[in-house]
Structure 1
Amino acid sequence: MKITFDNIDIVGHVIAENELYKHYHYSEILIRYDSNFIGFKRMPTIDEFKEAEAYLREFHLKKAQDHVKFEFPPDQKLTDELYQYLQEQHYTVGTNELYSIKPQDFPELSINPDIQVEEVNSSTYKDYLTLQYEQDVQFGESYAEAKKILHHANFQSDRVVQIIAYDKDIPVGAVDVILQDLTAEMDNLFVQDSYQRKGIGSSIQRFVMDLFRDRIVILIADGEDTPREMYRKQNYHYEGFQIEVLKVYN
């Protein structure tokens, strides 16, 4: 099957749509940028972008949201005119990269008995929440508290598997796996900074590969971050890129 950005799960509801874009909104967590944005179906002209920008800004102001975010069509670069405007308006411009892998293609690992990876259950859920809070709070306490709503919904969902990793019984890393018919999407894979370079991230991935051998495993990587190089070395296949822009108002 051909993997595209359409295979990536979006936490949010489409509340408006036209021939140019879809407007996603998630009233449960208004400060989650990835759930409250406009996704363009085709590359807008500069005038079309300004019109969408004004619409989203007005909508967000009514909801006391201090940002606007836009995603552009996959595998398309911004026009020079649009890029210049975004720079002038102090947008942050980023690129996401899409990767996929068949579980049997993931490299075999040497076993480290200190590292244990397992599905989150009622006994380990508190550890999972504590880990996630420590990750989320860097974006503010309000954001971290709001994310608890999403974590709880995922814990109760049949289509999300929460996974946690321990190093000598200390919780050190986690990932959420979002299930669709043919894919398993790894979302928010992380290992605490002080436990990096011990093979924990690879152990988490190996666990996912073994758990979902009948699916294609997919993930999104920040085009500017070093983990993308790790994924390439681990036999992930590059499927394409998508540009997104964000502006947060003071």
Structure 2
Amino acid sequence: MIVSMSDIFQEGKIYSDDQRKTIYLTPNEPLVYDTNKWIYKTMPTLETWQVDQSAQLSMHHNQGSSHLAFTFPENVTPSVQWLHEIEAQGFELGLMELYAIEASDVNMHDYHGVDVAFVTEETLEDYIKVHRIFAEPYGQDYVEQSVQVIRNQFESEQKCRVIAYKEATPVGIMDLIIGAHTAEIDAFGVVHKYQKQGIGSAMQAFVASSVKDKTIILLADGEDSAKDMYVKQGYTFISYRYQILKENI
């Protein structure tokens, strides 16, 4: 199946959408960068981007956000001039890469000692316990806001949540967005002290057995060594997309 960045699920509320860009503005999650950003469909000029910064900053300040975030079009690499401006204006440049694998191609070995299941009301607090570990670097306000969103949306959200246990200890979590033809892995993480013990592979095998004939897709940080693991597991690189972020404005 042919996939692209358009198959990636985007959380947040769409404030406006036109031929040039989509604006996500989510007042109940002001501290979440990914739900408060602009996604460009075509690359803006530097002059247009300056105007966009002012507009976005006004919108964000009005709802209590203190960041600027923009995502560039798929498979477009910023020019040298763009890279100079991004650095000069204090933005962080990130690269996200799209990978895919057919569920039938995932290694289905038995992973002894690792139990993986969909999160239920009874195991939601275990999921949140692991989520807190990954959320802590973003500050306590973000932790509490994101936990509240998880609790509020648990029964109504479009995603399934998955949890892994090692000897009854919750050690890994992931979110799964199941579409008509794809299953997207999101928010995938294993607690540091339990990494390289087959837990991540066990979680992916669980997903593959759950979605069967679908294409499994995920976004990986282009600077993260985890993407090498996906390639070794048989994932195919599909495309890339750059994004920029400026915090504490």
TM-score class normalised by the smaller sequence: over 0.9
SS in 2 for 1:156: coil
2:137 is aligned with 1:141: no
1:84 paired residue number: 84
- Give the distance between the partners of 1:220 and 1:13, measured in 2 at CA: 20
- Give the distance between the partners of 2:223 and 2:145, measured in 1 at CA: 27
1:188 paired residue number: 187
2:8 is aligned with 1:12: no
Q: Is the 8 A contact 1:96 1:223 kept in 2?
A: yes
SS in 2 for 1:29: coil
SS in 2 for 1:130: helix
- AA matched with 2:78: L
5+ residue gaps in structure 2?
A: none
Q: How big is each residue's C-alpha offset from its partner over 1:118-169, in whole Å with a ceiling of 9 and x where there is no partner? A: 1111221111111112221221111111112332255213632111101111
Q: Could you tell me how far 1:78 is from its partner in structure 2?
A: 0.6
2:111 paired residue number: 112
Q: Is the 8 A contact 1:154 1:160 kept in 2?
A: no
2:22 paired residue number: 22
Cα 1:217–1:243 change in 2 (3 A) is same
1:200 paired residue number: 199
Q: Could you tell me how far 1:7 is from its partner in structure 2?
A: 0.7
- Give the distance between the partners of 1:154 and 1:203, measured in 2 at CA: 26
Aligned residues: 249
Q: How big is each residue's C-alpha offset from its partner over 1:75-125, in whole Å with a ceiling of 9 and x where there is no partner? A: 00112222111110011001000011101111232x333111111112211
Moved over 6 A (4+): none
Q: Is the 8 A contact 1:103 1:212 kept in 2?
A: yes
- Give the distance between the partners of 1:158 and 1:223, measured in 2 at CA: 28
2:130 is aligned with 1:131: yes
Q: Is the 8 A contact 1:154 1:161 kept in 2?
A: no
- Give the distance between the partners of 2:62 and 2:78, measured in 1 at CA: 29
1:36 paired residue number: 36
- AA matched with 2:239: G
TM alignment of 1:60-99, pairs within 5 A? 60-99=60-99
Q: Is the 8 A contact 2:104 2:213 kept in 1?
A: no
Q: Could you tell me how far 1:73 is from its partner in structure 2?
A: 0.2
2:228 paired residue number: 229
Q: Could you tell me how far 1:216 is from its partner in structure 2?
A: 1.0
User: So what's the TM-score if we normalise by structure 1?
Assistant: 0.95
SS in 1 for 2:160: strand
Q: Percent sequence identity over matched residues?
A: 28
Over the aligned positions, Cα root-mean-square deviation in angstroms equals: 1.4
